[in-house]
Amino acid sequence: MTDPTVLVVILNYRTAGMTLRAAGAAVRAMEGIPGGIVLVDNDSRDGSFERLRDAARGWERVRVIASGRNGGYGAGNNIGIRAGLPDGARPDYVHVLNSDAFPEAGAIAILRDHLSAHPEAGFAGSRILDAEGAPRHSAFRFPSIGGEMEAAARTGPVSRLLARHVIAPPIPEETVAVDWLMGASVMMRRAMLDEIGLFDEGFFLYYEETDLCLRAARAGWKAVYVPGSRVIHLGSVSTGMGAWRRTPRYWFDSRLRYFVKNHGPAYAAAATGAHLAGGLLWRARRLVTGQPPCDPPRFLSDLAAHALSRAVGLGSR
């Protein structure tokens, strides 16, 4: 029996140098594994495609393709998945790797081996570490009304009351099934994708991997956190999330799309109301304790305004 093949997809947007570092780490982690790597330039228009193409000539089993348009994270990765292996063959597994994520030796093989040994698993996700080697949250519960309230309130009594709904529970130390996995380093079974479809391209950025995992769970597939697979992830290099002065509209669009698509408009409105209530509770607590803000400026008012504008827009149709 031949070993299963793995396709690593790395999406680039104006971070060619970082993407080449990630690709180099992936090349080393793919040693001895049948398959290949595809780098997708997501219409950077800054010379990234040419730089990636020229550098990739020095690697075997690596090809570079241009998306032709920037349709977002899901659309760009879908282009790489559909392209298949460098020889055009379909892989058994697809490993989505962020352009600022660097797998350690064995990281890709460990995910592949887990999926091979557990046919009920559709996803296997890595243990994500920051630049200093500290673990980061990468295994989550699905968003819910209670989870929105807890995440925004950031208050002990609320968190204890809503413990079953905490979106980011303590980081697991052992291999365990979870609701959804961060897309920075996650391997997916191609047979599962054939069944449920690829990333929903209606999400420009954020919530697309959450949506994909929920669709898979509803079809009976498991998502598994595999901490033996270790990946360094710098985080938000392409999106600039850590330096946001205001939360961009596409984040609010993606959040609302996730709730409306998967739970309906009434649930989405309740989830937004819960987040607003939790956020107000947190701000009241800050007035007493003097703690610094945790959200980008005007986050709650932007969230409320976005929800209202979408509700008015839907109601006028």
CATH numeric code, 6-142+179-240: 3.90.550.10
What confidence score (pLDDT) does residue 2 get?
81
pLDDT in tens, 261-305: 999 999 999 999 999 999 999 999 999 988 888 899 999 999 999
pLDDT in tens, 24-65: 999 999 999 999 999 999 999 999 999 999 999 999 999 999
What confidence score (pLDDT) does residue 190 get?
98
What confidence score (pLDDT) does residue 311 get?
80
Which residues are registered as beta bridge partners of 177?
224
pLDDT in tens, 94-125: 999 999 999 999 999 999 999 999 999 999 99
DSSP run (H or E) holding 217: helix 208-218
Residue 317, pLDDT above cutoff 60: no
Residue 239, pLDDT above cutoff 60: no
Average per-residue pLDDT for the chain? 94
pLDDT over 90 for what percent of the chain? Answer: 89
Query: Per-residue confidence at 314, pLDDT binned at 50, 70, 90?
Result: low
Query: Per-residue confidence at 243, pLDDT binned at 50, 70, 90?
Result: low
pLDDT in tens, 74-86: 999 999 999 999 8
What confidence score (pLDDT) does residue 280 get?
96
Query: Per-residue confidence at 316, pLDDT binned at 50, 70, 90?
Result: very low
- What would the two tokens of residue 198 be? 């690829």
What confidence score (pLDDT) does residue 241 get?
57
Q: Is-contact 73 160, C-beta < 8 A? A: no
What confidence score (pLDDT) does residue 175 get?
98
Higher pLDDT among residues 313 and 298, named by residue: 298
SS3 letters across 257-288? HHHHHHHCHHHHHHHHHHHHHHHHHHHHHHHH
Query: Per-residue confidence at 184, pLDDT binned at 50, 70, 90?
Result: very high
Q: Is-contact 19 47, C-beta < 8 A? A: no
What confidence score (pLDDT) does residue 264 get?
97
What confidence score (pLDDT) does residue 315 get?
46
DSSP run (H or E) holding 308: helix 299-315
Rounded Cα–Cα distance for residues 156 and 149 (Å): 12
pTM (two decimals): 0.94
Residue 144, pLDDT above cutoff 80: yes
